[in-house]
Structure 1
């Protein structure tokens, strides 16, 4: 490429192959940053509007797989097709809107596989298709522009069976009669000349193709003077025309009884005054009339043009984007079967009380201004043959309980993109097979849907449904259900179980909450015999936040976290096993006894920290005073005393038979010994509760001054004492056994060591006064010996 084409790779890579005007197809979109990819793989290339003035062989050498090339809107003046010698698979070539005035016909062999070739709007004075064009046997579409058409200009391609030919003839000033008849094509598109008044061009055009499109008509003369039943055209298209309405009427009148069956008028501007010319629109050859994209520049009508259309006897009428606000009911029985009035401003009054549309099967009122569903219902009630009704993109609502009477044969109803709510299910035709209620305000599916027994397809997408509908309320013939883009959070797994007849379901792009309930839905999907559209990629978690974006199929929760019964069973079972294990351990190892003994030891240690030991030790001569029944004396002498006093006399125990002062009264001795002892040990047994003196000792020990401020009582349960054995007068003993923790004497020898250690720990303390000092301080008088003996004997006897 030369320096003028340095901008080629700077221009946009938006590839739009424009082969024929009116036939623009978006084929590929490429950005500049993609040019670094392997060029040998490139199949489509857009070099339009890049200021290219010259091409070289090396320009396209790197693109052996190039199939589509757009070189339109550049500055090419000459073209040697040899530049494409390395592009053997090239099929689409657009070189329109350049400055070409010469072509190297000898190089056409390099594009012999070309199918689409657009050469229109260059500087060719004549068509002059050279002989080499006849070698392009794959050619299907060709576009040309010229100012003059000579007799044999198309001679060299007359043998080619073309699909379409475009002739841009705006500047045509000379045409040789019969020239177009050399073409063989299915469709011929002509841009009408602005200065050529001869009608021979159009006469020939009617004999060339079955589809004829004429665009940019600007003059009032009719190009159809020679149109009759012998013409080849069956489909006639007008596009981009700007004329008076009476010209359109004249065109229609001309073709009404010709060979034309299908007429389409697209992008038409009606100018100046409106002169309505009555024409004969009784039944003729036309079966379908389509008028779209009308721009009226006339605002005063002596008779509205809709009168003309409503009287037409044809099967198919389309008035789309024509700025009409109503349509007149035909004055006599119409043969309309398909009536399309989309993208207008039609209101509720249309076709009310209209009894002339008995043959109408298809009615499309998409994108108008209908507001009341009851009016739509009333409109169809007189259309006996109506099967298909489209009233989507309106403003329809229904909030009444009024009975709705529809056409009995209606099987398709499109109510999408309106303002309908749940009450709409009360006003639907029971004969429906296909129902579209998408883009409304539905929050649930009413039970009234069960009246639609023949329903096969139901579209509820883009509503506000928060749960899946109950299929048991729907007819058994329902096979397609669309629930996309609602607010279904936790769909039930039972849905697919109740919807066995449905073959295709779509629940895509809902706001799924990934919890335990979603597991049953996923499990049901895997068992579903039908087809779930978009599964699994379009089914993702929306909540909770940490799971957003996870595909439902990949979301997993443990069975125990979702199955409450299983969780309760495991917890109860584990607890029961643990309890049984603890009970067995306690029974086998007597664990409670060990725990109780350790607890007592710790409790004594803790309380000892909070006691002023110096005050407690002051005046104490014994570590413990022992109170027991004489029936338990053997245990005291054989077990208790040896185990407490065995460590070098570190513990001094006060016994009545050994340490009571002779000559004193028994009560005085009891009180004295208790007050001089750091602790008081009571050996409890059934024998203990039968001893009166033991009860006195317990009473005095509990009410001693020291006992008010500290835990000075130690209870040793030598044998179990049933509560019924304790006399009622020993209420203090009952209270102590309930309030205080006592030490049980273990029968097993293995536990004796812990028992004695715990007991010694409870009474271990350093006393400053030795036992000898106590004896000297309490020396009795000689005259008291008789009393002491008598008191000691009495105490001994009493304990017996």
Structure 2
């Protein structure tokens, strides 16, 4: 994988951005060998149902025999394989017996894996004859204490790593042969049943330096009473780079006693995770750690202390006072809610403090006193809502502050540091404060005004700005665009820039970003790009416009320096291939291409271009016409699209015919438009003379009402005058419909929801008169939801939506139930001109009389539009 646009800092500090932009997958050949085969140096025989070791050439360096049925390994099991370095014999499906000097014919073996076997018998001399063995894996083999007591590891002078985890070892009494293991660096005793470890048991390890020693998950010192005067220091005269005693269920008393017992032993990294220290919230029967808990580690040179995954509720006074050399302190995944004054005093060398995933709600000025060298503080995933102004001001070495996923509403407290993580909070606006960071993370907040973006772009030396998943949608532009030659990457995905740009303002937001290389504008509902919006981005190399609503790109929209473009998941119909000719990589997947002759130039370019096209060919497909729907553009033929030569002789005739037709059409339209009300009345009179009254011919059905009129009670007078008097049969005998509405037909005293449900399911159609009062009426919106439920249940168009008044598309889309309807279905709009009312009532009557179809046809090509009487 080759990254073209991300440098190391953005990868380490940024979120896991799942966009494709900036990453190019380089296909490299990978050696693949099938199971039960040999390729010259590696013999792979996993899952081959073997009952004995197969014969392999003496050139083999790796022999993998796991997941077979080998029962016995003896001296004669292997031929002489002088070059073999790795032998994997773990996870046999049958009990395993390992005889004396079973691996003698493998003199240069480096790694022996016997893990996850049921070892019925292991000879004490099984590993003799392996002078170069450096790693021995014996995890999960059902081994007992004998493997340590009886000298199984004699003469393994090269042994570096020994894994005895997940066995049945109940005591540590090492055989004197461990004195001879001068290369031993790592021992794993985790997940055994070792209750106590004392000095005499580990005496053969004295004088050694181990990089890793694990006694985790053994219930160590937990369920037995320990006489520490007799047990003494189990790690005397040892140097341990990492000691893992996590998961043993240690309380404060056990931790304090252990710390005093190992006083003086050098332990650079002590892992005490998954403990039970601390009272937790609401409990007081378990002690909180205090200044004596870790006092015994004063002379142990502890540099890293891991106290994560516990129940610590309060950090008490000078809790870590004796850990003068500590540099990394991990307190994550506890229940910390209180930090006492001077809690961190004594940590003069601490550089990294991790307090993420706790229960902190407020931070005070004195909380982090005593940390003169701290450079990184991780406070993410707490509940922090208030931070006093001076909390971080005096931490002179602080350069990274992580406050993601809290409840902050302001950032007055931010000090002058290079890196700030503030994502996942509740910031609505940014105060006018001085910022000096070069990396600012503000995603998943509630920022709405682009003024905040203008403000952030003025931060000097800012290189990375992440504003994904905010609500940027308005523009007051109180700040003028400023030169920012340092910004390299800007993330504005998953906002609503369309709402700001469609007002005609903030088109200069990127002005002055002369060194910007990466820009993300994905998921911003964009249906156009402001002219010249990228004009000043003279260094831009990567641009993401994916998941918007762009239907066309014009020449000049894209910067000349652009190399990588993600324009996937838009609504491009017939793009101009010249726009992509200068790119190196482009993603065009999941657009709405119209596969007609106008697209032939693009299809030819797609099949011939040297530009790397991201995505599968099946993801670049036609949506229209229906005969080509879902067909890959790579499979569409452009033959027969050069017909203009044949039609040249007909152009003049077509021109004359078109001109005459257009003139007649315009004259007709002018007359009809000017006198459309009168024309409609004439049409209706003629229709009554020629045809019978449709109301009399209408078949009876099972519905109680022809339609249920759902409207706000504040609109009743208007509805009565404009609709009921002209449609409802009880108002006039000449009206054809039996209508239902709340003021007349709802049963008094009955549950209102029940009335609505009965009206919805007892009516052939539901007519919702959506006005401003309707959108503010919860009962109306509830009735609209029930009507939609009926549509889904019956698979028909029972719901008729009529928009009344000057309601915009945006106002309708703000309501979730209505938004889903207007995106997929047609709706009517009440006419503004009074002469169109008769026409509209006739149109509405036809919709009420129309029977719903059981299945919508040609759904793939149906236009999502509105029927408007203008």
TM-score normalized by the length of structure 2: 0.47
Distance in 2, matches of 1:396 and 1:430, equals: 23
Distance in 2, matches of 1:81 and 1:510, equals: 69
Over 3 Å counting, the alpha-carbon distance change for 1:346 and 1:505 in structure 2 is: farther
Distance in 1, matches of 2:347 and 2:477, equals: 41
Given that 1:127 and 1:148 are in contact with CA atoms closer than 8 Å, whether structure 2 keeps it comes out as: no
- More helix per residue: 1
Aligned counterpart for 2:379 among listed residues 307, 313, 319:
319
Distance in 2, matches of 1:136 and 1:89, equals: 13
Q: 1:623-652: per-residue Cα shift (whole Å, max 9, x none)?
A: xxxxxxxxxxxxxxxxxxxxxxxxxxxxxx
Over 3 Å counting, the alpha-carbon distance change for 1:171 and 1:315 in structure 2 is: closer
Shift of 1:568: 4.0
SS at structure 2 position matched to 1:441: coil
Over 3 Å counting, the alpha-carbon distance change for 1:522 and 1:42 in structure 2 is: farther
Over 3 Å counting, the alpha-carbon distance change for 1:386 and 1:127 in structure 2 is: farther
1:171 aligns with 2:171: no
Q: 1:23-79: per-residue Cα shift (whole Å, max 9, x none)?
A: xxxxxxxxxxxx9877799877699xx9x9965569xx9xx9x9988749xx99997
Mind listing any 5+ residue stretches in structure 2 that lack a counterpart? 1-45, 55-62, 70-90, 104-108, 278-287, 414-428, 652-870
1:370 aligns with 2:446: yes
1:390 aligns with 2:466: yes
Distance in 1, matches of 2:120 and 2:186, equals: 25
Q: 1:205-239: per-residue Cα shift (whole Å, max 9, x none)?
A: 983335756441505134442566x8654443321
2:341 is aligned to 277
Shift of 1:319: 1.4
Over 3 Å counting, the alpha-carbon distance change for 1:203 and 1:372 in structure 2 is: farther
Over 3 Å counting, the alpha-carbon distance change for 1:507 and 1:109 in structure 2 is: farther
Over 3 Å counting, the alpha-carbon distance change for 1:537 and 1:337 in structure 2 is: farther
Distance in 2, matches of 1:116 and 1:490, equals: 65
1:563 is aligned to 642
Over 3 Å counting, the alpha-carbon distance change for 1:507 and 1:215 in structure 2 is: same
Aligned counterpart for 1:266 among listed residues 314, 328, 332:
332
2:244 is aligned to 189
- Could you say which structure has the larger radius of gyration? 1
Given that 1:289 and 1:316 are in contact with CA atoms closer than 8 Å, whether structure 2 keeps it comes out as: yes
Q: 1:551-577: per-residue Cα shift (whole Å, max 9, x none)?
A: 544x1414x4223435547999xxxxx
Distance in 1, matches of 2:489 and 2:593, equals: 31
Over 3 Å counting, the alpha-carbon distance change for 1:386 and 1:130 in structure 2 is: farther
SS at structure 1 position matched to 2:310: strand
Given that 2:265 and 2:300 are in contact with CA atoms closer than 8 Å, whether structure 1 keeps it comes out as: yes
Shift of 1:268: 1.1
Over 3 Å counting, the alpha-carbon distance change for 1:395 and 1:148 in structure 2 is: same
Q: How does 1:77-476 map to 2 (within 5 A)?
A: 95=139, 100-103=144-147, 117=163, 119-120=165-166, 122-126=168-172, 128=174, 131=177, 142-144=188-190, 146-151=194-199, 153-154=201-202, 164-168=212-216, 170-172=219-221, 173=226, 179-180=234-235, 186-191=241-246, 193-194=250-251, 195-196=253-254, 197-200=256-259, 207-209=266-268, 214-216=273-275, 218=277, 219-222=288-291, 223-225=293-295, 232-247=301-316, 250-251=318-319, 255=323, 258-270=324-336, 274=338, 276-278=340-342, 284-295=348-359, 304-305=363-364, 308=367, 314-325=374-385, 327-330=387-390, 332=393, 335=396, 336-347=398-409, 358-367=435-444, 369-374=445-450, 376-377=452-453, 380=456, 383-392=459-468, 394-404=469-479, 408=484, 409-421=486-498, 423=500, 426=507, 427-428=509-510, 430-431=512-513, 432-460=516-544, 462-467=546-551, 469-470=553-554, 472-476=556-560
- Give aligned pairs, total: 514
SS at structure 2 position matched to 1:321: coil
Q: Which has the higher contact order (CA 8 A, sep 6+)?
A: 1
Greater Cα shift, 141-150 or 538-547: 538-547
Over 3 Å counting, the alpha-carbon distance change for 1:188 and 1:422 in structure 2 is: farther
Q: 1:598-622: per-residue Cα shift (whole Å, max 9, x none)?
A: xxxxxxxxxxxxxxxxxxxxxxxxx
SS at structure 2 position matched to 1:208: strand
Greater Cα shift, 468-477 or 383-392: 468-477
Distance in 1, matches of 2:261 and 2:538, equals: 52
Mind listing any 5+ residue stretches in structure 1 that lack a counterpart? 1-34, 573-800
Two-structure CA RMSD over aligned residues (Å): 5.5
Distance in 1, matches of 2:202 and 2:210, equals: 12
Over 3 Å counting, the alpha-carbon distance change for 1:77 and 1:551 in structure 2 is: same
Q: 1:176-219: per-residue Cα shift (whole Å, max 9, x none)?
A: 55543666665433226335332546866983335756441505
Q: 1:113-168: per-residue Cα shift (whole Å, max 9, x none)?
A: 99672515745123637736976969756243533223365565679886543222
Q: 1:224-278: per-residue Cα shift (whole Å, max 9, x none)?
A: 42566x865444332112113233x7446655xx33333332211136xx46324
Shift of 1:285: 2.5
TM-score normalized by the length of structure 1: 0.51
Distance in 2, matches of 1:68 and 1:541, equals: 55
